[in-house]
Amino acid sequence: MAERSFAKEVQKLRKGEGETFTGEGILAITKALLENGVGYVGGYQGSPISHLMDVLADAQDILGELGVHFEASASEATATAMLAASVHYPIRGAVTYKSVVGTNVASDALSNLASGGVTGGALIIVGEDYGEGSSIMQERTYAFAMKSQVWMLDPRPNVPSIVKAVGDGFALSEATNTPVMLQVGIRSCHVHGHFTASDNIRPAMTVSDALETPRRKLDRIVLPPATYLHEAEKLTKRKPAAEAFIVEQGLNERFGAASGKVGIILQGGSYNTVMRALNRLGLADIYGDTELDILCLNCVYPLVPGQILDFCAGKDAVLIVEEGHPNYIEQQIGHLLYQSGQRVKLEGKGKLPMGGEYTGQVMVEGLAAFFEEHAPDLLPVAKVAANEPQVDIPDLSQVLPMRPPGFCTGCPERPIFAATKLVEEELGEHHISSDIGCHLFSIMPPFDIGATTMGYGLGPASAAAFHNETKGGRRSISFIGDGGFWHNGLTSSIGNAVFNKSDNVIVIVDNFYSAATGGQDILSSRATNPTKQTQNSITEAVRGMGVKWVRQIDRTYDVTRVRDTLKEALTTEVEGPKVIVASSECMLNKQRRVKPQIAKATKEGKRTVRPRFGVDEDVCTGDHACMRLSGCPSLSVKDTGDPLRDDPVAAIDQSCVGCGNCGEVADAAVLCPSFYQAEVVSNPAPAERRKAERRNRIISWLQTRRDARRVHLA
């Protein structure tokens, strides 16, 4: 169950020659793949291209009609290795994944693919996740393009440019026998627009055709001495061919007037932000028309020396707009200018920040600083102040409390960490290794659990060095999600622990989906998927790797059982790794599935029951230990209005999904018994109505009787 269904939107992929295609960037990319005769597609989900995988999954009928094979790959390395189908065969292939974490995983396959080169076009659509809103470490994909000599496109963030880049990417790949990366950020993925469609093209050779006519060229296989020849081919044939293609096909664009004394060279992905900033400075109109000389690099690697030098010729200063660090493009252009002897002032980092996302305001300030120094006459007399008055932005950290990311309401992973805290209260603190996924939120309050995270599926591996020489001594605890487990954790973490006779404890958090990337199905998903084999047991896979001590928990909300199982794992005398598989369905995906079912049944007049939890104000002591061990967003505090009670009491709001975690935590921690469970019944049976009416009459009578006996002070 993916986060979003594109079942209706994918029907637009059937549009033909001359029709207008309207939609999101990710949908347009899929249409462009079909228009360019792609033969196979694969990938691994991750922001900001998760929805691209969802589009492809929903479009499998259309892909099948064209003979296009689609796979949801086990990892980014698997996806990149899939492009091996284009090494010997003239088949166009495309894969997609999140960068830079995905590119890290794919690096080995990428190096081999780039070394031998390809015959058919090979396109890697990488979702660049850079900036303050990113969920990963701040690095750039550009380094991988340079390292492996893979060409990189970074088109302007509008639908026609993105669609054109797909076709350019395939053509560039085939013209140079080199894989091509198409970099798209969140603005490109989710930008809306339209373009004139073309007919979808069935691949000239399908993967089925290739199987019937096997081909093999020794010089494309990555094995010495061919590897040494590959390097020479990259430098003497492939790169010159790429530079010629870029110029001849006009991949890079030049805007404005070429006679100016200053100019701007920018990445295609930054075009919209730059033009908006120029508009705010009075140097461009709202349509992006400007008299400034601008070179827009829709192909950011390789750079074409002649094109760069021609642009810089006769200018006093040039600004390089390159988001991220290191400043690879600026360094290359500086080197070209130095070698050519051109005397032009090159600006970039310094006028613009060394790192961080280039937001609208950042771009305005950087461009203004550049023009004030090198072309003050171009700026309007009133400058920015008259065009768009500056507004002082208050320091919100001094006004609002911090709001760290946390688990969703009813998340089945929250009780796992509540149980862990309870165990630590009894046995003391332990070294805990975390992993990538929703469960990483455990490092934030109220749990504050976890010391390291080294990569997807590497939670247990990052605890590998911790080996207690003292028999019966303290063990480390590590967490890994079901997505990371199937990604590479089965071998890199579980297999490694078995092989090295680790004595530590591993908790596999199984929520039935690749939840953190949008709720896609994985090998152990419980749902039946018509195109995939699901319902594969994590427990059996772990035992198959050689783990002897394995415990399966089928309901993580049972905090007492989770606590006792974890305590057993930490104290047992059994040697070898101890693995706990803690399973409960992701509540977010469950609600997406269950809520429509309940709403439909209720509308049809059927009896439905929804559990709700509450807190008895008269029983609650105001200790709030329940919150320190839960952290559920639906659990808050409220003032009772009683002047004799200083502390607010716990309260559960309307967002409660009735998971029962707060009550389970209260029971396991031996807290106050103030939690109660109620049931909201829609369309009750006649007997239930009569029973409820009798209860209400009795309660009303008791309340009236109590009020009559109460002493009233005048």
Q: Where are the domains of the chain?
A: 18-248, 258-387, 414-585, 603-708
Reported as half-sphere exposure (CB side, CA atoms, 13 A), residue 35 has a value of: 27
Lowest average pLDDT, out of 133-142, 144-153, 173-182, 563-572, goes to 133-142
Q: Can you tell me the distance from the alpha carbon of 602 to that of 304, in angstroms, rounded to the nearest whole number?
A: 65
Q: Using one digit for the tens of pLDDT, what is the confidence trace for 453-473?
A: 888 888 999 999 998 888 878
Q: List all residues 6 or more positions away from 432 whose beta carbon is below 8 Å from its beta carbon.
A: 420, 449, 450, 451, 476, 477, 478, 479
Please check whether residue 141 is in contact with residue 183, taking contact to mean a CB–CB distance below 8 angstroms: yes
Three-state SS across 387-421?
HCCCCCCCCHHHCCCCCCCCCCCCCCCHHHHHHHH
CA atoms within 13 A on the CB side of 617: 12
How far is the C-alpha of 638 from the C-alpha of 618, rounded, in Å? 13
Task: Tell me the pLDDT of the chain averaged across its residues.
Answer: 89
pLDDT of 385: 42
Query: Residue 536: how many CB atoms within 10 A of its CB?
Result: 12
- Contact between 80 and 106 under an 8 Å Cβ cutoff? The reply is yes
At residue 654 the predicted structure's pLDDT band, cuts being 50, 70 and 90, is confident
Q: What is the three-class DSSP state of 713? A: coil
**Lowest mean per-residue pLDDT among 426-440, 625-639, 689-703:** 625-639
pLDDT at 629: 76
CATH dotted code for 18-248: 3.40.50.970
pLDDT of 676 higher than 50: yes
State how far the Cα of 347 lies from the Cα of 334, in Å rounded to an integer: 10
Whether 623 shows a pLDDT value over 80: the answer reads no
Q: How confident is the model at residue 337 (pLDDT cuts 50, 70, 90)?
A: very high
Q: How confident is the model at residue 2, as a pLDDT? A: 64
SS (H, E, C) 298-348: CEEECCCHHHHHHHHCCCCEEEEECCCCCCHHHHHHHHHHHHHCCCCEEEC
- Examine the pLDDT at 18 and tell me if it is beyond 80: yes
Using an 8 Å Cβ cutoff, are 629 and 418 in contact? yes
Fold matches, 258-387 and 414-585: yes
pLDDT tens digit sequence for 584-607 = 999 888 888 888 898 999 999 999
Contact 575, 475 (CB under 8 A): no
Of the pLDDT bands very low, low, confident and very high (cuts 50, 70, 90), residue 389 is low
Q: How confident is the model at residue 115 (pLDDT cuts 50, 70, 90)?
A: very high
Q: Determine what percent of the chain is predicted with pLDDT higher than 70.
A: 97
Predicted confidence (pLDDT) at residue 93 exceeds the cutoff of 80: yes
What confidence tier does 259 reach under pLDDT thresholds 50, 70, 90?
confident
Given a contact cutoff of 8 angstroms between Cβ atoms, the answer to whether 116 and 222 are in contact is yes
Read off the pLDDT of residues 349-374 as tens digits, 9 standing for 90 and up.
999 999 888 988 999 999 999 999 99
pLDDT tens sequence across 116-130: 999 999 999 999 888
Kindly tell me if the per-residue pLDDT of 89 is higher than 80: yes
Percent of the chain with pLDDT over 90: 58
- Amino acid 338 reads Y
User: Which whole number is the average pLDDT over 54-59?
Assistant: 88
Letter string b/e over residues 44-83, b meaning 16 or more CB atoms within 10 A of that residue's CB: bbbbbbbbbbbbbbbbeebbeebebbbbbbebbbbbbbbb
Task: Tell me which DSSP letter residue 488 carries.
Answer: I
Q: For residue 386, what pLDDT is reported?
A: 41
- Amino acid identity, residue 250? G
CATH number (2.30.29, 2.60.40, 1.10.10, 3.30.70) of 603-708 reads 3.30.70
Token code pair at residue 46: 């991750």
d(CA 217, CA 85): 13
By three-state DSSP, how is residue 251 classified?
coil
Torsion of CA 510, 511, 517, 518, to 10 degrees: 160
CATH class of 258-387: alpha beta
Tell me: the pLDDT tens digits for 518-548? 888 888 888 888 888 888 999 999 999 999 9
pLDDT score, position 38: 96
Q: Which of 318-332, 429-443, 505-519, 625-639 has the highest mean pLDDT?
A: 318-332
pLDDT at 383 over 60: no
| Residue type for position 27 | L
Torsion angle, alpha carbons of 20, 24, 29, 31, to 10: -40
Phi, psi of 546 (to 5 degrees): 110, 5
The domain at 414-585 falls in which architecture?
3-Layer(aba) Sandwich (3.40)
Quick check: 583 and 553 in contact, CB under 8 A?
yes
**Residue 713's pLDDT band (boundaries 50, 70, 90)?**
low
Q: What is residue 382's predicted lDDT score, i.e. its pLDDT? A: 40
- The encoded tokens of residue 78 equal 């698997």
